[in-house]
Every structure is written in structure tokens, then in C-alpha cells.
């Protein structure tokens, strides 16, 4: 595998790419799309945790997750539902575990943001506050 393949295979690169693409896509989503993504994100939480987890518990877990984790869960939901990122020529990356600590890498986040700026002229950054899915 070449250098580019190794870089693209780094979990923090994939997680950072997903996070920034979803961050750019969130303002373009319609209310029905947000509702569908919320339902799928809750189902994802229920599937990865203990059997019989209530919707309320899954929602609380999503609300308390880091912004990076929330965005990567939404990226998984978007992929499953066939939603495309706001930057149409980009694609969401495969991430094994959106809760993994190696998805959070400031250096990878800056590198992806620079690449998006260079390629599309778009400023991309993570919002400071976590998403409150109750408001969706």
C-alpha cells in the first residue's frame, strides 16, 4: 500500500473527514431528513449497547457523546440511508467504531480542513457544542 493509501486508512483521517463533511451537511438537511437520521442514530446506539436499551437511554447517550462521535454516528446513518455529503464529489469514509478514541486527532482534523479549503474553497471546522438530538 502506498503512502496515500496508508494516510487514507488512518482512523483519525476517516473520522475527521466524516466529521467535517457531516458538519458541512447539517445545515442543508430538511426536517424529515433530520428526523430519519435521528431515528437511525438511536437504532445504532441500541444495536451496539446492551439488549433492550430504551429509546430514551440511547438518546441520552447520543446527547452526551462528543461532537466528533455524534458526527461519525450521523455519517454511518447517512451512508446507510444513502444521503450524500454537501460536497457532492466527496464520500463518507468507513469507520469501524465511532466511539474509538483514535478518531479524535487534531492534526488529522486540520489536514482534512486544509484539503477541503484547497480543493473546494470551503472553510470547515467542528462546532464547539455537542448536538442536542432532542431538538431535532
**Is the overall model pTM greater than 0.75, yes or no?**
yes
- 26 class by beta-carbon count within 10 Å (0-12 exposed, 13-18 middle, 19+ buried): middle
- Is the residue at 134 inside a domain? no
The span from the CA of 69 to the CA of 117, in Å, is: 23
- Is the residue at 130 inside a domain? no
Could you tell me the pLDDT band of residue 11, with boundaries at 50, 70 and 90?
A: low
Domain containing 59 equals: 3-125
- Is the residue at 65 inside a domain? yes
Could you tell me the pLDDT band of residue 101, with boundaries at 50, 70 and 90?
A: confident
- Is the residue at 133 inside a domain? no
Q: Look at the chain and report how many structural domains it folds into.
A: 1
Helix ranges, the chain (H) = 3-8, 11-25, 31-48, 55-64, 67-81, 106-120
Report the mean per-residue pLDDT for the chain.
90
| pLDDT tens sequence across 35-74 | 999 999 999 999 988 778 999 999 999 999 999 999 999 9
- 17 class by beta-carbon count within 10 Å (0-12 exposed, 13-18 middle, 19+ buried): buried
**61 with 47: CB under 8 angstroms?**
no
The span from the CA of 57 to the CA of 35, in Å, is: 17
- Is the residue at 135 inside a domain? no
Find the mean pLDDT for residues 90-103.
Answer: 90
Amino acid at each position: 500500500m502506498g503512502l496515500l493509501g496508508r494516510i487514507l486508512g488512518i482512523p483519525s483521517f476517516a473520522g475527521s473527514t466524516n466529521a467535517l463533511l457531516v458538519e458541512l451537511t447539517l445545515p442543508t438537511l430538511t426536517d424529515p431528513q433530520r428526523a430519519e437520521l435521528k431515528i437511525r442514530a438511536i437504532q445504532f446506539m441500541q444495536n451496539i449497547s446492551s439488549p433492550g436499551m430504551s429509546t430514551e437511554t440511547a438518546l441520552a447517550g447520543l446527547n452526551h457523546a462528543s461532537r466528533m462521535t455524534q458526527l461519525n454516528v450521523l455519517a454511518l446513518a447517512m451512508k446507510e440511508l444513502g444521503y450524500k455529503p454537501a460536497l457532492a464529489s466527496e464520500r463518507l469514509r468507513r469507520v469501524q467504531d465511532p466511539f474509538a478514541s483514535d478518531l479524535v486527532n487534531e492534526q488529522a482534523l486540520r489536514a482534512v480542513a486544509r484539503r477541503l479549503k484547497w480543493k473546494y474553497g470551503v472553510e470547515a471546522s467542528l462546532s464547539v457544542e455537542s448536538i442536542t438530538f432532542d431538538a431535532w
